[in-house]
Amino acid sequence: MALTRRTLLTLSGGLAATTALAACGSNTGRTPAPSTAPGTPVASADPSAGRPELAQWYHKYGEDGVEQAVKKWAAEYPGADVSVNWVLADYEKTLSAALLTPTAPDVFEYANGPTLDMIKAGQVEDLTDTLGGARDDFTPSVLERVTYQDKVYAIPQTVDMQLLYYRKDLFDAKGLTAPKTLAELTHAANTVADGSIGGFFAGNDGGVGVLGLLLMWAAGVEEMNEARTQAAFNTSALYDALSGYKELFDSPGMVKSASADWSDASPFINGETAMQWGGMWDLPKVIEAHGDAFDVLPFPAIGGSGRQVVPFGAFSACVSSKSANVTAAKNFVKWLWIDSEDKQVEFSNAFGTHIPAKPKLFPQATKVADGPGASAAQFVTDHGRSNALHWTPASSEAYSTAVSNVIKSGADAAAEFGSAAEKVTAELQRVAG
């Protein structure tokens, strides 16, 4: 059949109309679920017909096997048909947009639990009753991060932390000891670096993004006052810490660009750097690559009032307030992240290295029983810090902009942090209102 121009245009118009109509549809990959009023016991649902259907979202974990495991667990759940959406990139942004729509996921994970704005906007359900008597099972500091005004808004899944990987063999060869202060770290980075390997790597932005808060904490400075009404970081101790890090940043031992970002240990594994700030989740890969020729450390202390520090946090399961099956979603979260301790242990042991959110499961977490894994777990106890719920994304943005401007552009620290402190104080007053 000859395709005339008119036929082609007609077909194009029809196709465009069809596409537009399809785009207006509401097919999110989840079949319609029967409405379940809050409080309705899910167990009473007929398993053969009308089982609640839930959509659960995860971000893409770098460790092999996680996707298969969470899909398997979802399939095992007897109380509902759970479909897992494994979001490959830009998880938080995609989720933020989805939460505005009626087809938001019923259950989703969020780093350190929902933000304060998500809680205040009513986007997530109160899970205090879901947690019930299991509250005491969880690590208190982890649970505190997902608690607002005595209500728990997420159930911690597993604890992750960041730490400093360093090549013990190269340090020994150069007569270096494990750095406990930033000055020692700078010296070590510049001593160990040569034409074939760099000294220190903390991301392709020079560590400004991931180390921003650590520089504050390591200098013995706090984000805000205890009453959470004012920024407290605008101090000379912070200026000195930034000055110290800038010295490292500008030194030849600093690796500012590598084959992967800080969250992937590949640069350390590939021999691009002798030290890398990274995640505990990559520990098995590093052990496989370097055996016992490496060790781990917390971030070093800075200045006279400084302290060593490691950040920790937990991806935590939330229930969307827009879910058509809130009760079923809560029941699923309870089943998976509170009751199914075998699965929680499996998550800690089978994929990378993670710390269980419940201290009573520590003995079963084989990856943190000895060696660098045990050291890492001890760092969380001795030096662990987690950013405060009141440290909003806007506060974080203002602070990290100041850090970047001081480190990369040589801007005046007092002016930059003064401006950032004003913004943070305004944010604290906003969220208190």
Partner 1 sequence: MTPGPVARPEGATHRSGATLARSNRRWFWLFVTPFLAGLLVFVYAPLLWSLCLSFFDARNTVTPNRFVGLGNYTYLLADRLFVDSMVTFIAFAVFIVPLTFACSLGLALLLQRITVLRAFFRSAFFLPTAVSYVIAAMVWRMTFFNGARFGLANTLLTSLGLEPINWLGGENSWYWLALVSLRLWLQVGFYMILFIAGLNQIDPQLYEAASLDGAGAWRRFWSITFPLLRPTSVAVSMLLLFNAFQAFDEFYNMLNTVGGYPPYARPPLVYLYLISFGGGLQDLGIGSAGTMILTLVILVFSFLQNRLLSIGADR
The footprint of partner 1 (CB under 8 A) covers 9-10, 13-14, 16-17, 20, 24, 92-93, 96-97, 99-100, 115, 117-118, 120-121, 123, 203-210, 249, 256-259, 261-263, 272, 392-394, 396-397, 400-401, 404-405, 407-409, 419
Least distance (Å) between residue 327 CB and partner 1: 23
- Nearer residue to partner 1 within complex by CB, 190 or 404: 404
- Nearer residue to partner 1 within complex by CB, 168 or 256: 256
How far apart CA 431 and CA 433 sit, in angstroms, is 5
How far apart CA 342 and CA 365 sit, in angstroms, is 11
Least distance (Å) between residue 348 CB and partner 1: 23
Site of tokens 């000294």: 199
Q: Which amino acid is at 165?
A: Y
CB contact at 8 A, 37 and 88: no
Least distance (Å) between residue 229 CB and partner 1: 20
- Nearer residue to partner 1 within complex by CB, 243 or 404: 404
- Nearer residue to partner 1 within complex by CB, 141 or 387: 387
Least distance (Å) between residue 367 CB and partner 1: 23
Least distance (Å) between residue 424 CB and partner 1: 14
Collapsing DSSP states into helix, strand and coil, what is residue 163? strand
Least distance (Å) between residue 236 CB and partner 1: 23
Least distance (Å) between residue 398 CB and partner 1: 9
Least distance (Å) between residue 91 CB and partner 1: 11
How far apart CA 46 and CA 1 sit, in angstroms, is 54
- Nearer residue to partner 1 within complex by CB, 58 or 201: 201
How far apart CA 396 and CA 416 sit, in angstroms, is 14
DSSP codes, 245-305:
HHHHHTSTTEE---SS-TTS-HHHHTTSEEEEEEEGGGHHHHHHHHTTSEEEEPBPB-STT
- Nearer residue to partner 1 within complex by CB, 224 or 328: 224
Helix and strand element counts for the chain (H, E): 17, 13
- Nearer residue to partner 1 within complex by CB, 369 or 432: 432
Residue 213 burial (CB < 10 Å; 0-12/13-18/19+)? Answer: buried
Q: At what angle do helices 341-350 and 66-76 cross, to 10 degrees?
A: 170
CB atoms within 10 A of CB 143: 22
- Nearer residue to partner 1 within complex by CB, 12 or 128: 12
Tokens of 318: 């939330």
